[in-house]
Amino acid sequence: MAPGGFSAAALALNPAAQLRGITLPPDNGGHDLLLPVDGDGVQVEYTDITLLAGVMGVSRDEIAASHPDAANFRYDNPFSDLRFDLVFCDGQVLRTHEVHRYAYREKCEATRLLTSQLVLAFGRIREGGTLVVLLHRVDMFATAQLLYMVSRVADVRLFKSRKAWKMRGAFYLVAENVRPGCAEAVEMVERWKALWRRATFGVSGWDDKDGEERWWLDFGVEELLADFGETLVRLARPMWRTQAAALRKAPWNRSRRHWG
């Protein structure tokens, strides 16, 4: 959630909105929260979302005492009695986090973070609500799989800022009219939970291939392109144009034109 820019914008548009958030504590490498927290309209849980074992359906008895994070897992279910019209998943793995986590998490932390956010989001979003997710590299197989999966349970579009990260591969998935209770959504959530469990408790067999195929769809690249390729290109083309325009104006390209 921190530093709270999206939340502040949402409250500016709807001052009566009730806001609930989860954010990494600053002591663990998280950002300071710039949004006033009044305990009523705005409530925040300071915790590592990737350690919410209870949300993932894992009990205390299932975790070995020898696990590095055994004492850090939580077994409650934050905000489980609430449903939200708008959910943001914009957490990302930063270098400032490295000194605060165990070595076993290095290869799979991005996967653990994204699956944790998605499982929590689908468990809290209202039927017909809107979900916004920070993603990277729309052309990567894992990203394309996720877009395909969410497109099966929501109306999706992609957004890339013309100011922030315009030269990079970062973008936002905007999923509207989300149907979290449908059978496909329930199956997706179970896949994400299983992947989180593998990344958290079975990392000895984790390799780069897992990162590319982490969404565990039952078909490969060719099948995905056949079913979703045209839609993927249509969704991504405006972002590619924004990125291409920014790259053409990049300092190194301006210098090259000057020399030529």
175-184 mean pLDDT: 98
In the predicted model, is pLDDT for residue 155 greater than 90?
Answer: yes
Phi and psi angles of residue 212, each rounded to the nearest 5 degrees, phi first: -80, -30
Residues 89/131, Cβ–Cβ less than 8 Å: yes
Domain 84-259 falls under CATH 3.40.50: yes
What is the predicted pLDDT for the residue at 206?
A: 54
Least confident of 13-17, 127-131, 195-199, 215-219: 215-219
What are the sequence ranges of the domains in the chain? Answer: 84-259
Predicted TM-score of the model (pTM):
0.86
In the predicted model, is pLDDT for residue 59 greater than 50?
Answer: yes
Task: Name the most confidently modeled range: 96-110, 115-129, 217-231.
Answer: 115-129
Beta bridge partners of 171: 135
Q: Cα 71 to the chain's mean position, in Å? A: 25
Least confident of 12-16, 54-58, 221-225, 246-250: 246-250
In the predicted model, is pLDDT for residue 144 greater than 90?
Answer: yes
